[in-house]
Homo-oligomer: A and B are copies of this chain.
Amino acid sequence: MRVGILTGGGDCPGLNAAIRAVVKRGTAEHGMSIVGFRNGWEGVINGDAVPLTRDDVSGILVHGGTMLGTARCHPHKVEGGLDAVHQTFEDEKLDALICIGGDGTLKAASKVHKSGVPVIGIPKTIDNDVVGTDSSIGFDTAVSIATEAIDRLHSTAESHNRVMVVELMGRHCGWIAVTAGIAGGADIILAPESPFDIEAIGKKIRHRHRYKNFSIVAVAEGAIPAEGSDWDADDTLDSKGNPIAGQVGAQVTRAIERVTGFPTRLTTLGYVQRGGVPTAADRLLATRFGVAAIDAAAGKEFGTFTALRGERIEMLEFSEMAGKTKYVPEELLRTAWGL
């Protein structure tokens, strides 16, 4: 069997661990040949393939990013894209294609699968918004980095009697802000799932500052104010409707300072959340996903993606995740607000 592999969408820690597991397991256990495509779907469309051996993936377990490169490209959005994918699949004499990616890449994978290519997906996303799996590759590392940043901000907040706002990634879901906020002991946590009322926040901070001299506010970049708020949404979105890094944080910072009168400072964590050495948990998850994916390819379970379900890895149909978004559940939002 010859199996292709690609990584698509934004990069994150753990992608290389998954590639390594696919290559090692595929070659040693199943006697397969593995072919990597450069820069996501772009590489499949352009036939930019490279054979991958055990030697090629030696030592990459701890490396962030992806040795294959990545790009935000979807075959069905490119003219002749799907045909080119089929052509490459044939040219490379492939029997299966493993796609590691987030929402967008897996949606593309599902479409490609429906068009007749045997595809298997592996979910990765620091945003943790893929439905069906308890966690996706990259999320644990992002939360770990964000939590360490909140830890660091604590000392400055306390020493200078300040409110410190930290803007974290999360466009549509607040997974990083909510979990890192809880883990880091943030006093206020703002997530897209629950529009915020700046007056209520100001009141809570003023109340807190009667007995404490500082506060930490964790804000998802996609956090939105409740209707009727004094808020300039245009400033926070780019021409495609995506949040501009730092803009939501900046507005929240100004609003808190205005409402409370306390000196308030902003930190926008940015790209460091998605880079560097993956945590042990992400390396383990990525390795298990890689093993499960290549085993599923051997078993011809196509049209599925790997999912963590409690203690087990299961293969789910693409239809279980397609077009859905996993939001932060009520229990976690309540925990975030209740402490």
Contact = CB atoms under 8 A, between A and B. Distances in A.
A338 B311 CA distance: 19
Contact of A281 (B29, B140, B266): B140
A148 interface: yes
Contact of A156 (B143, B144, B152, B271): B271
Contacts of A329: 311-312
B339 A159 contact: no
A62 interface: yes
B339 A272 contact: no
A270 interface: yes
Interface stretch (A64-72, A105-113, A189-197, A297-305): A64-72
Interface of A is mostly: helix
Number of copies: 4
A161 B68 CA distance: 11
Given A70-B159, A281-B281, A270 B267 contact: yes
Given A246-B246, A271-B267, A338-B25, A161 B280 contact: no
A85 to B, nearest CB: 21
A331 B285 CA distance: 13
B155 A335 contact: no
A316 to B, nearest CB: 13
Interface in A283-300: 283-284, 287-288, 291
Contacts of A144: 279-281
Contacts of A28: 338-339
Contacts of A221: none
Nearest to A144: B280
Contacts of A275: 151-156
Interface in A55-86: 61-66, 69-71
Nearest to A269: B272
A331 B313 contact: yes
A270 B157 CA distance: 13
A13 B183 CA distance: 13
A172 interface: no
20 contacts: A21-B339, A24-B339, A69-B161, A143-B281, A144-B280, A148-B276, A151-B277, A152-B274, A152-B275, A156-B271, A156-B274, A180-B280, A182-B283, A182-B287, A265-B271, A266-B270, A279-B279, A288-B335, A310-B310, A312-B329
Interface of A: 7, 10-11, 13, 15, 20-21, 24-25, 28-29, 39, 61-66, 69-71, 134, 140, 143-149, 151-156, 158-161, 164, 179-180, 182-185, 213, 246, 265-272, 274-277, 279-281, 283-284, 287-288, 291, 309-313, 329, 331-332, 335, 338-339
